[in-house]
Structure 1
Amino acid sequence: MISPRCFSVALLLGCMPLQAEINTIFYGTLNEPPPCTINNGEQVDVDFGVRVGVNKVDGQNYMQTVNYRISCEPGISGLAMGLKVTGSATGFDSAALQTNITDLGIRLLQNGQAFTLNQRINIDAANPPILQAVPVKKPGVELKAGAFTVTATLLADYQ
C-alpha cells in the first residue's frame, strides 16, 4: 500500500510542465530583379508640333503614340512588372498632365483607356501596353495661343 505522503509527492511531480528545446535555423536567398531600362535611359519625347489649333483641342485630335521601349536583362521569373506615370494631374481630368498653359492638359491613354496618373498598373514586360497622349482642355473654356510643355516620369518596376 502506498502511503498518502508518497502519493501526494507523485501527484505533484506528475503535474509539473515538461520543457523541450530545439535549435531553429532560418535561411533563404536574396535575389535582385534583372536590371531594366526605358528607351536605353534616353528621354521619351512626344512632339505635337506647331499646328495644334486652340479651337480643335477636343481629346481626339492630335493624338500621338508615346514611343517607349522597356528592355530587361534575362533573370528572375515570377515577379510582377508594373508601370507608373508620375506627374501633376489637371483639376478637370485625372488622366491628364497639367501643362504650363492654364486649362490645357495632356491626357494619357493605355490601350485606348484613360491611364490614371500616379497609380501603378501591372504589365507584361514582354508586351507592354500602348500609351497614347492627346491634348485636352477644361470644358467650356477658350484656350489662348502659345507653346505648351509638360514633364512626367515613366517608371517601370518589379514587385
Structure 2
Amino acid sequence: MTMLTRWKMLVLLCGGFVAGTEAAGTKTVQLELHLVVTQPPPCTVGGASVEFGDVLTTKVGDASQTKPVGYSLNCDGRASDYLKLQIQGTTTTISGEQVLQTSVEGLGIRIQQAGNKQLVPVGITDWLNFPLSGSNGPELEAVPVKEPTTQLAGGDFNASATLVVDYQ
C-alpha cells in the first residue's frame, strides 16, 4: 500500500467517525427527590433560679456568697450523651471576665463550675462542652462580683439569663 493510499484511508476513516456522531444537545430531565430530615429530640431545661437573699456590699465577691444554680435537665430519647451548655444574657466585664450584668451599675454575677470554679462565659459565642451523666448537667454556681474599686449602694438587684443546652 502506498503512502498516498494510507493517507486517503486515514482521512476516510476519520471522516466516518465524525459523520457517525451527532451534535451534542440538551435534554431536560425531571428529577424528583424525597428527603426526610431528622432532628434529635430537644432537651428541656427548667428551674434555673438563684436567690441571694441579703448580701453585704462588703461581702460581694466573697466565696461565702456563692449559691448553687439549681436547674433540671431532661434529654429523654437523646441522640448523644455529648452536649454543650451556653448562658445567654447581657454581659459586663468585671476583673477581665465576661459576667452576667445586673440591674445595679458595677455589680455582676459570675457563673462558674462548682468543682473547679472555672468561669462559664456569658454570651452567645462560648459553649461549655460536657458529657451527660444520667440526667445531670454540670453543677453551676453563681457569685456576685464587682470591680475592687467600685463602691456599691445598698438595694435590690436582679439579672436574667437563658440557659441553652444543645448537642455538640
Return structure 1 stretches of 4+ with deviation > 6 angstroms: 24-28
Measured in 2, the distance between the counterparts of 1:136 and 1:61 equals 12
Would you tell me which structure has more strand in proportion to its own residues? 2
Measured in 1, the distance between the counterparts of 2:111 and 2:89 equals 11
Q: TM-score, structure 1 length as denominator? A: 0.78
Measured in 1, the distance between the counterparts of 2:103 and 2:57 equals 15
Q: Where in structure 1 are there 5+ consecutive unaligned residues?
A: none
Q: CA deviation at 1:11?
A: 5.0
Would you tell me which structure has more helix in proportion to its own residues? 2
- Amino acid in structure 1 at the alignment position of 2:71: Y
Q: TM-score, structure 2 length as denominator? A: 0.74
Measured in 1, the distance between the counterparts of 2:141 and 2:86 equals 14
Q: Could you say which residue in structure 2 is the equivalent of 1:46? A: 50
The worse-fitting range, judged by mean Cα deviation, of 80-89 and 121-130 is: 121-130
Q: Could you say which residue in structure 1 is the equivalent of 2:89? A: 87
Q: In the comparison of the two structures, how many residue pairs are matched?
A: 147
Query: Larger radius of gyration, structure 1 or 2?
Result: 2
Identity of aligned residues (%): 32
Q: Where in structure 2 are there 5+ consecutive unaligned residues?
A: 19-23, 25-30
What root-mean-square deviation, in Å, do the aligned CA atoms of Structure 1 and Structure 2 show? 2.8
Q: CA deviation at 1:48?
A: 0.6
Find out whether 1:101 has 2:122 as its counterpart. no
Find out whether 1:140 has 2:140 as its counterpart. no
Give the conservation status (yes or no) of the 8 Å contact 1:59–1:107.
no
